[in-house]
């Protein structure tokens, strides 16, 4: 993981070798012992993997993070994420989503914090739109609860939106919002409470396989681990160069707008939403801060980046102008200029199916390429990491997510 100077050298915490530090937080220094499992990257999936692995009795687990416990550099920050049970991406994900929803609730109970906001998820588009048809098919196949609304019902029940004639809405009552920063911190602290060691502000620079494990290198320091879980997000290719041809980093701008009446967008009356209109994909969440509503946009022309280092610090003005122009077509009662905008990133695979893989030597688990729709699945990915480490496999993992399957599809597409 990159970390702009955060290599673990010269950071606070000098003299801390890690001895006796199980269950504690450390800064910048790797523990001087052989550990059972090292989790590299404690963001979306890494924090969940650490949480799941820390529940295995007798397992010595260390999590290593380039930044702090909660930060703005990864893919998860941005106040909210969408949780959808009825997904347009297809039935491949539903068993994982069912388990993820249970695990979100377990993490809430363990942490004593609200993470999953049960406000429902609303998808809007013209009747017959392929994405909506795929959502309906997923609901029918898995007998998921739903409510279908026509354009008049949409306008009556959700007057915040501006439906067009012939539009329809699909309400997923099992959907809702997620609080990503709360979730990542809650999982990390829960893992520490169970006995895991966490090292922050330590940039892992390489992995080296040995006869009996893996050396995790951070500058001049080395952590000896029997197994490693790589959950480094947009920095994965730096540690797994063999995946560089499979993973593409993309810029994700997030925006918030000011409603004239914030009460009309409160969670009790306004579900998380997705809508495609005139080449723009809009998505967002209710008003969570009492003032703004998250309404973010993407277009078919993704902003591919050479590396995560190329993510712009600010959302470009031309994008903000385009979003402002589009907003009145999606919503009424909102000021059309963003009150807040933040710049983020994620890695995509060619078909948006994440990589969840265990290497042939059964020493390195890699989870990568969440493709902009992975946060809702994060605790299930953490469970998959635990199963692959402990059992060498998981009945919950779709075979399409294995690296060999990805490479096969990639070769067939050439």
Q: Give the CATH number of the domain where residue 119 resides.
A: 3.30.9.10
What digits encode the pLDDT tens for the residues 372-401? 999 999 999 999 999 999 999 999 999 999
Which single residue is written with the structure tokens 């196949």?
141
Mark whether 334 and 366 lie in a shared domain: no
Within-domain flag for 2: no
What span, in angstroms and rounded, lies between the C-alpha atoms of 136 and 30?
A: 49
Within-domain flag for 6: no
Mark whether 207 and 139 lie in a shared domain: no
| Domain total in the chain | 2
End-of-domain residue from the set 297, 322, 348: 348
R_g of the chain computed on alpha carbons: 21
Mark whether 337 and 280 lie in a shared domain: yes
End-of-domain residue from the set 305, 324, 348: 348
> Per mean pLDDT, which range of 73-87, 293-307, 332-346, 397-411 is the poorest?
293-307
Mark whether 259 and 222 lie in a shared domain: no
Q: Cα 260 to chain center, whole Å?
A: 31
Within-domain flag for 205: yes
What's the chain's average pLDDT? 93
Mark whether 263 and 168 lie in a shared domain: yes
Question: According to the model, what pLDDT value does residue 18 have?
Answer: 35
Within-domain flag for 300: yes
> Per mean pLDDT, which range of 13-27, 110-124, 224-238, 380-394 is the poorest?
13-27
Mark whether 155 and 282 lie in a shared domain: yes
Domain containing residue 304: 81-178+248-348
């Amino acid at each position: 993981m990159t970390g702009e100077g955060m290599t673990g050298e010269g950071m606070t915490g000098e003299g801390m070798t890690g001895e006796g530090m199980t269950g504690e937080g450390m800064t910048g220094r790797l523990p001087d012992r052989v550990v059972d499992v090292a989790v590299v990257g404690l963001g979306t999936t890494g924090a969940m993997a650490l949480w799941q692995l820390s529940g295995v009795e007798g397992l010595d687990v260390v999590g290593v993070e380039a930044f702090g416990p909660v930060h703005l550099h990864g893919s998860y920050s941005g106040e909210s994420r969408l949780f959808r049970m009825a997904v347009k991406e297809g039935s491949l994900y539903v068993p994982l989503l069912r388990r993820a929803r249970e695990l979100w609730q377990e993490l809430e109970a363990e942490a004593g914090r609200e993470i999953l906001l049960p406000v429902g998820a609303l998808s809007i588009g013209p009747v017959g739109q392929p994405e909506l048809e795929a959502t309906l098919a997923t609901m029918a196949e898995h007998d998921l609860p739903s409510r279908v609304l026509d354009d008049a019902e949409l306008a009556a029940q959700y007057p915040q939106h501006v439906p067009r004639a012939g539009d329809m809405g699909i309400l997923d009552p099992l959907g809702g919002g997620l609080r990503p920063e709360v979730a990542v911190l809650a999982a990390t602290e829960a893992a520490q409470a169970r006995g895991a060691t966490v090292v922050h502000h330590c940039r892992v620079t390489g992995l080296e396989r040995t006869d009996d494990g893996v050396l995790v290198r951070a500058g001049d320091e080395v952590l000896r681990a029997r197994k490693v879980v790589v959950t480094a997000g947009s920095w994965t290719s730096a540690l797994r160069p063999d995946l560089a041809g499979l993973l593409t980093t993309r810029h994700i701008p997030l925006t918030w707008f000011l409603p004239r009446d914030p009460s009309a967008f409160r969670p009790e009356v306004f579900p998380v939403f997705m809508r495609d209109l005139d080449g723009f994909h809009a998505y967002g969440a209710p008003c969570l801060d009492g003032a703004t509503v998250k309404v973010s946009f993407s277009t078919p022309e993704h902003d591919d980046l050479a590396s995560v280092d190329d993510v712009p610090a600010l959302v470009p003005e031309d994008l903000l102008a385009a979003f402002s122009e589009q907003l009145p077509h999606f919503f009424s009662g909102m000021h059309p200029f963003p009150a807040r905008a933040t710049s983020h990133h994620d890695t995509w695979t060619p078909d948006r199916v994440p990589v969840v893989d265990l290497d042939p030597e059964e020493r390195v688990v890699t989870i990568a390429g969440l493709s902009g729709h992975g946060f809702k699945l994060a605790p299930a990915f953490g469970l998959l990491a635990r199963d692959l480490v402990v059992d060498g496999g998981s009945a919950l993992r779709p075979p399409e997510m294995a690296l060999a399957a990805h490479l096969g599809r990639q070769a067939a597409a050439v």
